[in-house]
Amino acid sequence: MNSRVIKGKATTMTQPFHNAGGKGYNYYHGGVDLTGFNGSYNILDWIVAHTAGTVVGLRTDCTGYENGSYGNYVLLQHSNKYYTMYAHLAYGHVKVKLGQTVKTGETLGYMDNTGHSFGGHLHWEVRTPSGVKIDPEPYLDADLPGMLKPLKVNGKWGKAVTKRAQRLFGTTIDGKVNRQKKEYKTICPAAVNVWEWKKIPKKGSDLIVAIQKWLKINQDGWIGPQTIKALQKKLKVTQTGTLDKNTVKKFQKWLNKKI
């Protein structure tokens, strides 16, 4: 079988997800146990991220057997708020740090036998946003539930781009960015009709505040040449101060890397 969590892809499942008394086991198992497979026999292999995400849990100091523990592990949270857990990793071979953002397929560590383990393997879990463990087998070579689809890279900043940015930056997901019509018309005349203009709160847009915080500039909540130039510098495009098509395309590509 193939999987998205083992570098060599070819995989053997040595134990499935099961409840106590289920599938012939008298105890609960909240994930699946996997090894690599070279076509003839099971092998140890490098472990990679199933889906892009952020490292929200990590252990690296377990050197061997430890009753009841995951040993060395990496816990990722993804854009759909689900989690994936990679456990029993080799001591000295965890390749990521807490808080790090990883891409799909990025190496996390090497499978081994640390923690409560009786032979080298990967213990892999999928957890809902509330932390409930679900059967991960259907997702071994498939997207997690509710994963976002890539944005169209077309240079148009509409509701889809706004909602994706709002989700990423943790602001209200309504697809609307409040701006002064006069100001925005000066910056990008072609996009004026895209927006439903409403009264601007004094603090400006929460999304723009979050983006400005990320850019490490004055967080006034207003989109203007200074903010756009800082965004262009971050995205490594020509700093024109106008929200041109090339800048939006770069931003769309950057957002797609975060799903």
pLDDT (tens digit per residue) in 54-83: 999 999 999 999 999 999 999 999 988 999
Burial of 247 (0-12, 13-18, 19+ CB in 10 A): buried
Cα 169-221-190 angle, rounded to 5 deg: 90
CB–CB of 147/80 below 8 Å? yes
Q: How far is residue 222 CA from its own chain's centroid?
A: 28
Outline where DSSP puts E strands in 128-251.
Answer: 133-134
Sign of CA dihedral 135, 122, 14, 28: negative
As a whole number, mean pLDDT of residues 185-209 equals 56
Look up the pTM and report it.
0.65
How many whole angstroms separate alpha carbon 74 and alpha carbon 85? 6
Does the structure show a pLDDT above 60 at 182? no
Quick one: pLDDT band at residue 205, thresholds 50, 70, 90?
confident
SS3 105: coil
Does the structure show a pLDDT above 90 at 121? yes
Quick one: pLDDT band at residue 200, thresholds 50, 70, 90?
very low
User: Within 13 Å, how many C-alpha atoms sit on residue 19's CB side?
Assistant: 1
Q: Is the model more confident about 22 or about 155?
A: 155
- The first and second tokens of residue 134, run together, are 């679900």
